Structure 1
Amino acid sequence: MKVVKFGGSSLASGPAVENALKIITAEAERQVVVTSAPGKRFDDDIKVTDLLIKYAHEINHGRNGLEVADRIFQRYVEIGEYFNLPLEEILPLKEILLNLPKEHYPNKNYLQATFKAHGERLNAKLIAKILQSQGVKARYVDPKDAGIIVTGSPNNASVNPESYQLLENFAYDADEKLIFPGFYGYTLAGHIATFSRGGSDITGAILARGFHADLYENFTDVDAIFSANPKVVDQPQPIHTMTYREMRELSYAGFSVFHDEALIPAIQGQIPINVKNTQHPEKRGTMIVPEKGFKPETVITGIASGKHFGALYLHKYLLNKEVGFTLRILQILNKYKLSYEHMPTGIDDLTLIFDRDTLNDELIDQICNEIQNEVSPDHLEWISNYAIIMLVGEGMRDRIGVIRDIATPVAREGISLRMVNQGASEISIMLGTAAKDADRAVAAIYDYFFKQEAQGE
């Protein structure tokens, strides 16, 4: 059995959905289908999820939101009409939309989560109806009926492990297509809660593990995962096969195909994942597989960079002799419920690297002031434009001198490395640079490694 997930761009319009349906019906093994909300049809278009967020905003501010609700409904009408689906088959979706403001919600966060989730919910219902109209045995499955239970906050939920047992016991016919909405589950109290943005990937991974799928096919708008960002490197090589941990490391630093937590359920279930293009399903795409038995073909599998970081640098003589120095800093961060990403240290130096999107100028000043008062560093500096570059590859473990090979092209470009850190697994090396230098560094490293390997050097 295969679990098949389609992204928003793959379900944005009638022709896009038609491509997806051809893929679904091409193989009997493609039995569990996960839908996203309709995405953008063109560059200036608005995603249905964004319209639903606007709808929730209107309701939260005492307005009826009918104009926005109608815009949302028309997106589904457009898709349904493309398949000659009678309007009376589509009208129940409008009723669901208009009833959303009438439901009871514990607070505004639950309201927003429920509204957001309906992009996927309505699309799954519509696609099930379209398949049925084509004579395909298809069934819409609500996450509550399947047992997808979540905990956590309404807009950042986590799957409850009990869900996997419930999915194992879910009854279905061997010849039917099960159409699941992605992105959300139900709390123990029965309220909708969504995974983080991009959460349909998480749903797909949950279902792949719960149903013990042979393969999780994730259809998107790219032919494969590339070894570097095509906006930074001209025509980067596609990655044919990579491991789970390579994908995780690269996702963290900026690979945009997956949210960095999206694969965890599939990884836990050891389910192979195939990333493919809805427009070109015949292409092999990228396989993401367990580490066991994997034989790397290259030293570096991929390079990714993120420019959304900031760093707090401290210098104090004899820092390494001062008991509790780091603890006192971490207690300040805990006071503000703030996590750090990395903490490279030296004998007299310590750097805290943060996701800058979690901070604002006021919070930065407050933290800096408290750290100055608490530990009295000789020098304290906030670096706002910090970038992290991740170089990832299972082949690194068998290559002596990788750090030298990385530093050489970077030095030729006149780029200063603020941090070099190799993970204990030896499959990743993290570099810190100024944000303005990140793209040049990625391009230089890519050319050094991949052009050499292409030439057989």
Structure 2
Amino acid sequence: MQYLVCKFGGSSVATSEKIQQIVKILEQNPLRRCVVLSAPGKAPSYPVKVTDLLITATKKVLAGEDCSQEIRQITDRFTSIYRPLNLPEEIIQKILSDIDRRLSSDKSHPGKFRDLVVASGEDINSQLFAEYLNLLGMKASYISPLQAGLIVTPVFGDAQPIPDVSLKLASLKRLIPDQILVFPGFFGYTADGDVATFSRGGSDLTGSILAEALDVSEYENWTDVDGIFSAHPQMVDSPAQIQALTYREMRELSYIGFNVLHEEAVRPVMRKKIPIRLRNTNNIKNEGTLVVTERLPSQRDIIGIASGSGYCSFTLYKFLMNREKGFGRRLLSIFEDMDLSYEHCPSGVDNISVILDQDQLKPEAVNNIIRTITEELKPDDIRTEFGISLISVVGEGLIHKIGVLAQAAKALSSAGVNIKMINQGSSEMSIIFGIDTSDERKAVSALYKEFFSN
């Protein structure tokens, strides 16, 4: 199908002017027939996102506290956006009244209640926007996820679409030629008819699900940045914008530091090889970054440098460890039993390290880990280290290019950065270095200069 699905994030719907900008974008290309909206994000006069206000209101209600201040801020926010656009007051107030209905609903299941209330930001915004489009003479319909068939698992706050959800949503194909479909992001309905939200940022996933179901030519994701850059702008001055990269490269970049798209949003479009285009609502002339199955081999071998901090390591030393069957499995099972996930597990002949995101550790966790490992595996020594940053050199060209590891290691050495750990997966699409967090900015700058200066 030649149509496009367009998802607009919180910053893109934050003010009246931003809503008018969306209209311009839709008018620019009549094939943009399915619009997915987030709840309004921060704006100059509104420092708190609507979703955060709804979360606070939910917590207060469940605690038996008054939430009238938050609800007033939410209703004022929507009114400040749509009243200047001349949307009739009675329409605005009628749609906003749904918040009170949700707040007065059953609270016996806190998770269900939370999701019902928190999802109202996207739902109300989508209804108001559809009304505004019709006011302008652009035929549009608000599409309820329940009526459309966006069925999700009953995991409140972290729902997933059911396996055949795209088949249920495919009936929307008959509507799209005649009108613009306005669909709220971030949530679906369980088989029992309860609202269940995706994890935060889940509007990206909604757009991806619809792109697959409608079999569109492209999924546009509109935010407040021009696209994906070859390094984080906070680490490197004016990094180059990436024109095109593969789904696999984006996944590698987003794993460490590049929060460009909800991590689960890639899978639905990958199944049908639908391109994703990341674009800037405020800069329509910029074509953004295209994410595709395969890119031209003439483009850069190295596509980007990503980094992230807040990691720690547990390193075990044991003589003849390599002869002890099941040692690695038993080590990782200790972390699993403590409900901890690991990032990397580099090893030597008589040593092995487990790299973790240290944010998941509770105060007593480190002592418990060391004690359990000592009792069950009896290593000769255990060493822990905190304040580790991971730097990743990413690109499909790594598979064929010789000497990238040596080139990167030399650049880090010249910059005075000590390498604590090196890891390269079997896909050979990325090389990950573990370094001191104090050297993170220096390391990213050195690698960017090495691979992108020309």
* TM-score between both structures, scaled by the size of structure 1: 0.95
The SS at the match of 1:19 is: helix
Answer yes or no: is the 8 Å Cα contact 2:219–2:274 preserved in 1.
yes
Q: Percent identity?
A: 40
1:251 match: 254
Structure 1 counterpart of 2:261, which letter? F
Deviation at 1:153, TM superposition (A): 2.0
2:96 match: 94
1:26 match: 28
Deviation at 1:309, TM superposition (A): 1.8
1:236 match: 239
Answer yes or no: is the 8 Å Cα contact 2:62–2:107 preserved in 1.
no
Answer yes or no: is the 8 Å Cα contact 2:33–2:176 preserved in 1.
no
Distance 2:204 2:219 in 1: 10
Aligned residue among 169, 187, 211 for 2:190: 187
1:394 match: 396
Answer yes or no: is the 8 Å Cα contact 1:110–1:192 preserved in 2.
yes
Answer yes or no: is the 8 Å Cα contact 1:296–1:395 preserved in 2.
no
Distance 1:175 1:275 in 2: 26
1:406 match: 408
1:111 match: 113
Q: Which range moved further: 318-327 or 98-107? A: 98-107
The SS at the match of 2:302 is: coil
Distance 2:87 2:355 in 1: 53
Structure 1 counterpart of 2:143, which letter? V
Distance 1:345 1:134 in 2: 63
Answer yes or no: is the 8 Å Cα contact 1:73–1:93 preserved in 2.
no
Q: Which range moved further: 27-36 or 251-260? A: 251-260
1:142 match: 144
Distance 1:262 1:102 in 2: 33
The SS at the match of 1:157 is: coil
Structure 2 counterpart of 1:108, which letter? P
Distance 1:427 1:236 in 2: 21
Map 1:350-365 → 2, pairs under 5 A: 350-365=352-367
Aligned residue among 381, 384, 392 for 1:382: 384
Q: Which range moved further: 376-385 or 192-201? A: 376-385
Distance 1:372 1:258 in 2: 41
- The C-alpha deviation readout for 1:172-211, integer Å capped at 9, x for no partner, is 1512000011111111222111111111111111111111
Aligned residue among 334, 339, 344 for 1:332: 334
1:17 match: 19
Distance 1:424 1:36 in 2: 37
Distance 2:149 2:325 in 1: 49
Distance 2:184 2:259 in 1: 21
- The C-alpha deviation readout for 1:68-115, integer Å capped at 9, x for no partner, is 111111111011112011211101233111111222255212222222
Deviation at 1:331, TM superposition (A): 2.6
2:53 match: 51
The reply to whether residue 208 of structure 1 matches residue 211 of structure 2 is yes
The SS at the match of 1:216 is: strand
Structure 1 counterpart of 2:129, which letter? I
The reply to whether residue 286 of structure 1 matches residue 289 of structure 2 is yes
- The C-alpha deviation readout for 1:326-351, integer Å capped at 9, x for no partner, is 22223322322222122111111111
Deviation at 1:383, TM superposition (A): 1.7
2:161 match: 159
Deviation at 1:50, TM superposition (A): 0.5
Answer yes or no: is the 8 Å Cα contact 1:110–1:191 preserved in 2.
yes
- The C-alpha deviation readout for 1:300-320, integer Å capped at 9, x for no partner, is 101111103222111111111
Answer yes or no: is the 8 Å Cα contact 1:3–1:208 preserved in 2.
yes
Answer yes or no: is the 8 Å Cα contact 1:243–1:294 preserved in 2.
no
Distance 2:187 2:423 in 1: 36
Structure 1 counterpart of 2:178, which letter? D
Distance 1:265 1:277 in 2: 22
Answer yes or no: is the 8 Å Cα contact 2:34–2:176 preserved in 1.
no
- Given the superposition, is the C-alpha separation of residues 357 and 115 from structure 1 closer, same or farther in structure 2, using an over 3 Å criterion? farther
Query: Gaps spanning 5+ residues in structure 1: where?
Result: none
Distance 1:159 1:338 in 2: 25
RMSD: 1.5
Structure 1 counterpart of 2:319, which letter? Y
Answer yes or no: is the 8 Å Cα contact 1:3–1:33 preserved in 2.
yes
Deviation at 1:368, TM superposition (A): 2.1
The SS at the match of 1:227 is: coil
The SS at the match of 1:251 is: helix
The SS at the match of 1:126 is: helix
Deviation at 1:44, TM superposition (A): 7.1
Q: How many residues align?
A: 451
Answer yes or no: is the 8 Å Cα contact 1:53–1:112 preserved in 2.
yes
Deviation at 1:147, TM superposition (A): 1.1
Distance 1:364 1:186 in 2: 40
Distance 2:209 2:203 in 1: 10
2:277 match: 274
Structure 1 counterpart of 2:186, which letter? F
Answer yes or no: is the 8 Å Cα contact 1:248–1:261 preserved in 2.
no
2:229 match: 226
The reply to whether residue 75 of structure 1 matches residue 77 of structure 2 is yes
2:177 match: 174
